[in-house]
């Protein structure tokens, strides 16, 4: 493995690429602030910061779950644990002090993760209002304090955050405020001096790892002896470009980067609906577009949204590059059209000249940090109240995310009114093929889909569109 930086020291000569960072920190380095709890990215107790050198020679720190991070992902990066934030003079940082002053600590098990999440907010936040503050800690669970005290602590940090310069120029101010120790100065140059990992070609016998949020949450044991090829830092797989007709997104672009992109917000504004409701900060900072598609989860949020937008995927392999409609990429239960040695390099979205309206809905057990029971997106081209082209997609109602082709075709050319919406919702319900599973019974998911389709029309249709819909509560079968 290539060297990386841990807090204020360089670490070289390690050969444990598939080991989880959480285990290495706690078992080998005795750095036990990052807690070992759910090991599935669900609680935030193991949160650490991962710094990456950005163009312009500054270091961007992302909140990540150490329980989902293989050691190889650290190469060339700066890993910061709570121990690396503690002040040498024994005083508390402003984040720690706010939690103490507001009585936001009882057993303290969640506290290191909260300190990392709130420090991450100060490092990266764009707005320091309550909504963004709550989103910043949306991935952190506390079992005993009660969230009101934690919310008061984040309110205390708002004035500090509001006075900060933009993220790329924030380091000095955060050091002056005691949020970060002085050892953060010069990290960019230090990382630049480390040998960079040589990108290896994605070989057929290697396991491709992008963010690792699916791979390491579900089947860590299976990866313990595999050769890993890391995709996250490959420049050719990252970034967003737009022309008049198309928008290209690199497969290794993370959800957080998509959210932060002004270009994407301007050219494909609808995507924000799905991005904002995707996981929480530590997942969004690692989870990639490509990982979401290749994982082929029946309830992948980006998959469902991009199906409605009729995206094309770009695939590279030993025989060259090929393009495929996303709808043909999904072959069935967790299967995609990728041959051995092939990998996904990106996605292309058409930027239609006419107005395309998109609405996305998902229902999950937890608002933050949860995948959906059922999700759905509807893209409509509208001309004076008449539907042109329509694409209705859904996840959680079949073995793979899919376009509900019959309902979509039926919608084309119809007037956008309450009767059309109701009929489309009932047709979608018939077209779906859900099964009973831990996320709900098949009957429940069918009814849920119908309600989500109605919600699409409520968002995209004229006022009062729901006036004559029968009242049909969704009941019966959410699994415990
Ligand atoms: C706590 C938690 C919350 C989550 N919340 C959501 C949510 O709200 N919505 C949602 O949709 N998902 C959610 N997920 C699932 C997951 O985060 C996403 O599916 C994510 O986009 C996966 O991306 P990744 O980069 O982490 O994939 P990885 O885990 O790195 O890879 C997933 C699969 O794709 C393959 N792969 C990755 N990139 C490529 C490529 N370019 N070419 C070929 N193969 C590739 C890998 O080999 C692997 O098989 C959540 C996961 C967790 C743990
Ligand atoms: S241990 Fe719960 S998110 Fe890592
Ligand atoms: S203080 Fe005990 S879990 Fe939060």
Q: Ligand 1 within 6 A of 232 CB?
A: no
Q: Ligand 1 within 6 A of 213 CB?
A: yes
Q: Which atom of ligand 2 is nearest to the CA of 282?
A: 3
Quick one: which H or E segment has residue 452? helix 442-460
Residue with tokens 């415990």: 480
Is residue 417 within 8 A of residue 459, CB to CB? The reply is no
Of the pLDDT bands very low, low, confident and very high (cuts 50, 70, 90), residue 333 is confident
Is residue 188 within 8 A of residue 171, CB to CB? The reply is no
pTM: 0.93
Residue 433 Cα to ligand 3 midpoint, Å, equals 42
pLDDT score for 88: 87
Q: Ligand 3 within 6 A of 105 CB?
A: yes
Q: What is the CATH number of domain 235-351?
A: 3.30.465.10
Whole-number Cα distances in Å, 117 to 129, 454, 479: 15, 36, 31
Among the bound ligands, the one closest to the CA of 292:
1
Residue 297 Cα to ligand 1 midpoint, Å, equals 9
Pick from 408, 406, 409, 426: which is nearest to 418 by CA?
A: 426
Whole-number Cα distances in Å, 139 to 182, 215, 289: 28, 19, 20
Residue 188 Cα to ligand 1 midpoint, Å, equals 28
Is residue 226 within 8 A of residue 15, CB to CB? The reply is no
Is residue 455 within 8 A of residue 363, CB to CB? The reply is no
Q: Which atom of ligand 1 is nearest to the CA of 251?
A: 41
Pick from 264, 325, 287, 306: which is nearest to 395 by CA?
A: 306
> What architecture (CATH level 2) is domain 355-480?
2-Layer Sandwich (3.30)
CA–CA dist 26, 33 (Å, integer): 8
Q: Ligand 3 within 6 A of 323 CB?
A: no
Q: Ligand 3 within 6 A of 144 CB?
A: yes
CA–CA dist 126, 128 (Å, integer): 7
Residue of higher predicted confidence among 450 and 220: 450
Q: Which atom of ligand 1 is nearest to the CA of 213?
A: 26
Residue 76, phi-psi category: left (phi > 0), alpha (psi -120 to 50), beta (remainder): left
Whole-number Cα distances in Å, 325 to 97, 159, 307, 336: 52, 48, 9, 12
**Of all protein residues, whose CA lies closest to atom 33 belonging to ligand 1?**
295
Residue with tokens 């990866």: 223
Hey, which bits of 262-409 come out as E strands?
A: 312-317, 320-325, 330-332, 335-336, 343-350, 356-363, 374-383, 386-395, 402-403
Of the pLDDT bands very low, low, confident and very high (cuts 50, 70, 90), residue 224 is low
Q: Best mutation site among 43, 45, 110 for ligand 3, i.e. most ligand atoms within 8 A of its Cβ? A: 110
Which residues are CB-contacts of 334 (< 8 A; sequence separation ≥ 6)?
295, 296, 297, 399, 400
Residue 480 above 60 pLDDT? no
Residue 292 Cα to ligand 3 midpoint, Å, equals 32
Residue 336 Cα to ligand 3 midpoint, Å, equals 41
Residue 117 Cα to ligand 2 midpoint, Å, equals 13
Q: Ligand 3 within 6 A of 59 CB?
A: no
Tokens of 211: 């963010």
Tell me: the pLDDT tens digits for 41-69?
999 999 999 999 998 889 999 999 999 99
Of the pLDDT bands very low, low, confident and very high (cuts 50, 70, 90), residue 368 is low
Among the bound ligands, the one closest to the CA of 216:
1
Tell me: the pLDDT tens digits for 239-293?
999 998 999 999 999 999 999 999 999 988 888 889 988 999 999 999 999 999 9
- Any alpha helices (H) in 70-224, and if so which ranges? 82-85, 94-101, 111-124, 130-136, 147-162, 171-176, 187-193, 215-218
Tell me: the pLDDT tens digits for 173-192?
999 999 999 999 999 999 99
Query: Domain residue spans in the chain?
Result: 1-197, 235-351, 355-480
Q: Which atom of ligand 2 is nearest to the CA of 141?
A: 2
Residue 164: count of CB within 10 angstroms of its CB: 17
CA–CA dist 465, 33 (Å, integer): 53
Residue 40 Cα to ligand 2 midpoint, Å, equals 6
Q: Best mutation site among 143, 151, 153 for ligand 3, i.e. most ligand atoms within 8 A of its Cβ? A: 143
Q: What is the CATH number of domain 1-197?
A: 3.10.20.30
- Any alpha helices (H) in 240-364, and if so which ranges? 255-260, 262-267, 272-276, 281-284, 289-295, 301-308, 326-329
Residue 197 Cα to ligand 2 midpoint, Å, equals 27
């Amino acid at each position: 493995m290539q060297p990386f930086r841990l807090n204020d020291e360089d670490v070289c000569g390690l050969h444990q690429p598939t080991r989880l960072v959480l285990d290495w920190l706690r078992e080998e380095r005795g750095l036990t602030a990052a807690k070992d709890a759910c090991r599935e990215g669900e609680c935030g107790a193991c949160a650490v910061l991962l710094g990456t050198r950005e163009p312009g020679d500054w270091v961007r720190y992302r909140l990540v779950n150490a329980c989902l991070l293989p050691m190889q992902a650290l190469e060339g990066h700066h890993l910061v644990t709570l121990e690396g934030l503690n002040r040498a003079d024994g005083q508390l940082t402003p984040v720690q002090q706010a939690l103490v002053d507001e009585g936001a600590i009882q057993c303290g098990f969640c506290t290191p993760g909260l300190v990392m999440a709130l420090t991450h907010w100060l490092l990266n936040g764009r707005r320091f209002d309550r909504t963004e503050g709550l989103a910043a800690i949306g991935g952190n669970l506390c079992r005993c304090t009660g969230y009101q005290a934690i919310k008061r602590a984040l309110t205390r940090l708002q004035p500090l955050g509001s006075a900060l310069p933009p993220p790329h120029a924030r380091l000095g101010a955060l050091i002056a405020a005691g949020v970060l120790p002085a050892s953060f100065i010069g990290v960019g140059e230090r990382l630049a001096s480390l040998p960079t990992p040589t990108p290896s070609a994605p070989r057929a016998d290697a396991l491709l790892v992008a963010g690792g949020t699916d791979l390491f949450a579900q089947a860590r044991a299976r990866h313990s002896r595999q050769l890993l090829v890391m995709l996250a830092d490959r420049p050719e797989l990252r970034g967003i470009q737009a022309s008049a007709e198309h928008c290209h997104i690199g497969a290794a672009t993370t959800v957080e980067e998509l959210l932060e992109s002004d270009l994407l917000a301007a050219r494909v504004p609808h995507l924000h609906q799905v991005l904002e409701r995707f996981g929480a900060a530590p997942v969004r900072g690692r989870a990639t577009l490509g990982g979401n598609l290749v994982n082929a989860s029946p309830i992948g949020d980006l998959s469902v949204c991009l199906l409605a937008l009729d995206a094309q995927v770009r695939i590279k392999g030993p025989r060259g590059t090929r393009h495929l409609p996303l709808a043909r990429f999904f072959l069935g239960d967790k299967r995609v059209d990728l041959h051995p040695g092939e990998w996904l390099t990106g996605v292309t979205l058409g930027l239609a000249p006419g107005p395309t309206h998109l609405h996305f809905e998902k229902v999950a057990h937890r608002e933050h940090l949860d995948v959906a029971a059922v999700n759905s997106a509807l893209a409509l081209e509208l001309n004076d109240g008449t539907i042109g082209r329509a694409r209705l997609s859904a996840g959680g109602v079949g073995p793979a995310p899919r376009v509900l082709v019959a309902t979509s075709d039926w919608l084309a050319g119809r007037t956008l009114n309450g009767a059309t919406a109701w009929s489309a919702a009932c047709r979608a319900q018939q077209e779906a093929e859900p099964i009973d599973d831990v996320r709900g019974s098949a009957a429940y998911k069918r009814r849920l889909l119908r309600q989500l389709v109605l919600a699409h029309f409520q968002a995209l249709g004229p006022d009062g569109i729901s006036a004559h819909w029968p009242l049909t509560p969704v009941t019966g079968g959410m699994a415990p």
